[in-house]
Amino acid sequence: MTIGLPDAQGRLRTYEPRTEPLALSAGAPFTSRTVFSAAHVVADPYADTTPDSPAAVDWDATLAFRRHLWSHGLGVAEAMDTAQRGMGLDWAGAAELIRRSAAEAKAVGGRIACGVGTDQIASGTLAEVRAAYEEQLALVEESGAQAILMASRALAAAARSPEDYLEVYGHLLRQCAEPVILHWLGPMFDPALEGYWGSSDLDAATDTFLEVIAAHPDKVDGIKVSLLDAGREVALRRRLPEGVRCYTGDDFHYPELIAGDEQGFSHALLGIFDPLGPLAAQAVRVLDTGDTAGFRALLDPTVELSRHLFQAPTRFYKTGVVFLAWLAGHQNHFAMVGGLQSARSLPHLARAYELADGLGLFPDPKLAEDRMRTLLHLYGATP
């Protein structure tokens, strides 16, 4: 049985779907790497989604997906970019997500770290930015989750020099109850973060970032780097103080960065591990045995799918992530908060289906095929 998938010119090409998924199962906890999957949220498809309406989340399906990730040994990075923070998920929704997910993590013994930002304000003075960060930090710490200090649009707008970043982050780190993860999100993920750390020169920005860490190494568990530049990440990784981890956020080069070299390796905090969860977990368990070649053999073939989902404009990768979750049966609809399901074209989604199916990612290939056919029919893309 074949299916006709459209290309960018509207021509249908013939694809023969798999009939069997890749054999993947849960296993022992990881021993060589700490690995988080940033997780998406499942929208309530019946909620009012008119512009400026509050985000409406299907909490049962959202928490079920997190249990899926935990069942394979992955940590959950909650209320991050993948959960549409700043792109459909408002602070009220994010706060509820943090509370619910942290409670669920405690109930099942799952590892969780949650995003701390300033998205309850659109802009403000440095003092207002600090206060917004503090409000979110208090909520995350009260929930029992580890905090991830995310890059702030409001801080990027308010800061006038690298010293402003040093002051704000220093203030926050001094009051953190436990070591946090610092997140450097590049402008390809959010254009409003251009010039973060006080400079558009990445070498200068890196120096400021490292200065923040060096001043408070006991308060920094690690850094999450999302610049899509493997060489820069490796160079930064080698300059970190002893005991501070690097969590790769590079969805283009993650296999080589996690595998590492003779001077070190990266742990992982990745949006692409949302659709790749079981396969990524199996690959890390292979790496735990010291079999780097086996790890790369499993994970390298997934890069084409990741690069496709994260192609420019990169910030819309969430659409592909949620689309694959629908095809895989993790949710019963393809709707997103903020209506973001419309952010990618049908040919883009068709290629995502083809690549994911080729990897054997769908637990029920027939279900995925049927749902793909439904979408094609809705778009009128039928022979």
Question: For all residues of the chain together, what is the average pLDDT?
Answer: 96
Query: For the residues 314-318, what does the mean pLDDT come to?
Result: 96
Place of tokens 């790890």: 295
Q: What secondary structure letter does DSSP report for 53?
A: P
Q: In what helix (H) or strand (E) does residue 100 lie, and over which residues does it extend?
A: helix 91-108
Q: What pLDDT shows up at residue 8? A: 87
Tell me: pLDDT of 52 over 80: no
For 315-354, give one letter per residue: b (16+ CB within 10 A) or e.
Answer: bbbbbbbbbbbbbbebbebbbbbbebbebbebbbbbbbbb
Position 120 scores a pLDDT of 96
Alpha carbon distance 325, 328 (integer Å):
5
State yes or no: pLDDT of 53 exceeds 90: no
Question: Measured between alpha carbons, how far is residue 50 from residues 116, 188, 308, 318 in Å?
Answer: 27, 27, 29, 20
Pairing relation of β-strands 146-149 and 245-248? unpaired
pLDDT band at residue 208, thresholds of 50, 70 and 90? very high
Residue type, 238: R
* 382/265: higher pLDDT: 265
Q: Is the pLDDT of residue 373 over 80?
A: yes
Backbone angles phi and psi of 185, in degrees to 5: -100, 120
| 148 or 28: which leads in pLDDT | 148
Q: Look at residue 94 and tell me whether its pLDDT is greater than 80.
A: yes
* pLDDT at 314 (0 to 100): 95
Distance CA 278, CA 283 (A): 9
The pLDDT assigned to 383 comes to 64
pLDDT of residue 10: 86
pLDDT above 70 covers a percentage of the chain that reads 99
Check pLDDT > 90 for residue 26: no
Strand partners for 224: 183, 247
Q: What share of the chain is helix, strand, coil (3-state, %, to 5)?
A: 50, 15, 35
Residue 54: what pLDDT? 84
In whole angstroms, give the CA distance from residue 226 to residue 189: 8
